[in-house]
Amino acid sequence: MNYENEIRTCLDRFETVLREQLAREEKMEREAAAVDYAKKEKIRIGLIPGDGIGTVIFESARQVLDLLLGKKLAEGKVELVPIEGLTIENRLACGESVPAPILAAIKSCDVLLKGPTTTPKGGTDAPDMESANVTLRRELDLYANVRPVSVPGEGIDWTFFRENTEGEYVLGSRGVEVGDKLACDFKITTDAGTRRIARAAFEFARKNGKQSVAIVTKANIMKKTDGKFSRIANEIAAEYPEIAHEDWYIDIMTANLVNKEIRDRFQVFLLPNLYGDIITDEAAQIQGGVGTGGSANIGDRYAMFEAIHGSAPRMIAEGKGHYANPQSILRASEMLLRHISFTEEADLLAAALEETTGPDAAVVIDGYEGATCAEYTACLTEALRRRLSR
Ligand code: IPM
Ligand code: MG
């Protein structure tokens, strides 16, 4: 069989991708300054519940924000903006990963709190719809995915800096197929894209007194893309002589995280997108499960905070969605509050989370055995009310 025409179509697609990505790289080089939230009269927080277990855990976050922000809402210093319709049903019906009116509403906000949204799987009859996360990370240019994981009893205090707008991810819905014989996806690493995430990681390390950053790639195999990532990360590292840096490969690093002998010596991790995605689920599991992992998507203009995990269609199918653990989105809410310099509110939430998840907690989330999301939330809001009335 002759594949000439199909190959031409693929080459055209490849050319488009290269031109688009080069234009994006050039735009990134004209760096924007980060927003100073302290100078804003009013901060608009967009609320996007998502779908699947998203709506369940989001309800918990909504109650917590209403409580914590009561005073600032009354003073008009902050506004909570409900954004409806970012559900898999509506997205499929509109044929858009993030329907245009929803994207416009999102862009009218400063920061966002988002519940998980379902992503259709490739290789099925479903259309190749892009993940809403990927669309939003690109549209809002949220280049740093920051994921803290800590297990104080074991000396674990990790912060992952996952590149969030490049790698295998950005073009994951735009790969090509030649007949039914061959499939090819695109992986992109740019100079400016790597520089900005590397700088974010090293700046964080410097500001927070961290001694080392682990640069994690698979540059022995992905010579061009990961090779560039590693080389540029090392160049940026040279600007931070007080911070040690080490190159690691992703495979051994996944082993390191379960190696109790050495894992507590790692502090900050800097990784390309897909490796960051995978290893942060592993790290969150070590912390107590993905249901405990918060995630911040940071850009210069916008920031979006969410749970580390997806919409858990399996839990919904089993009729167990009400057992979803809201701690992930609550930790994301804490990160949001800190990001906009609402430190007092963030500290209150952190203290209440610690109180209600510690060994003396009144209710315990434990898979399908322990408390439901609503039961845990009642306990948490009670702890918050007590603290607020002090
Ligand atoms: C994450 C999630 C998303 C991702 C999914 C839901 C698209 O796993 O934020 O880590 O793969 O980035
Ligand atoms: Mg993930």
What is the rounded distance in angstroms from the CA atom of residue 138 to the CA atom of residue 140? Answer: 6
Ion ligand 2 neighbours, Cβ < 5 Å: 277
Top mutation candidate among 86, 133, 163, 166 for ligand 1, by most atoms within 8 Å of CB: 133
Residues 360-380 as b/e (b if ≥16 CB within 10 A, e otherwise) read ebebebeeeeebbbebbbbbb
pLDDT tens by residue, the chain, 390 residues: 789 999 999 999 999 999 999 999 999 988 778 888 888 999 999 999 999 999 999 999 999 999 999 999 999 999 999 999 999 999 999 999 999 999 999 999 999 999 999 998 888 887 778 999 999 999 999 999 999 999 999 999 999 999 999 999 888 889 999 998 999 999 999 999 999 999 999 999 999 999 999 999 999 999 999 999 999 999 999 999 999 999 999 999 999 999 999 999 999 999 999 999 999 999 999 999 999 999 999 999 999 999 999 999 999 999 999 999 999 999 999 999 999 999 999 999 999 999 999 778 888 888 888 999 999 999 999 999 999 998
d(CA 109, CA 117): 19
Which ranges in the chain belong to alpha helices (H)? 4-29, 53-68, 70-74, 88-94, 100-107, 132-139, 191-207, 225-237, 250-257, 273-287, 313-317, 327-339, 343-357, 373-388
For the Cβ of 133 lying below 6 angstroms from any atom of ligand 1, the answer is yes
User: How many angstroms separate the CA atoms of 158 and 258, rounded?
Assistant: 13
Length of the chain: 390
CB burial of 85-119 (b: ≥16 within 10 Å; e: otherwise) equals bbbbeebeeeebbbbeebbebbeebbbbbbbbbbb
Closest ligand 1 atom to residue 137 Cα is 12
The verdict on the CB of residue 277 being under 6 Å from ligand 1 is yes
Ordered by start, the domain boundaries in the chain are 34-142+299-390
34-142+299-390 classified as CATH 3.40.50.2300 = no
Ligand nearest to the CA of 164: 1
DSSP 159-184: EEEEE-SSBTTTTTTS-EEETTTEEE
Burial of 256 (0-12, 13-18, 19+ CB in 10 A): middle
Q: Verify whether ligand 1 is closer than 6 Å to residue 310 (CB atom).
A: yes
**Residue 131 Cβ contacting ligand 1 at under 6 Å:** yes
CB-ligand 1 contact for 168 (6 Å cutoff): no
Q: Which atom of ligand 1 is nearest to the CA of 281?
A: 10
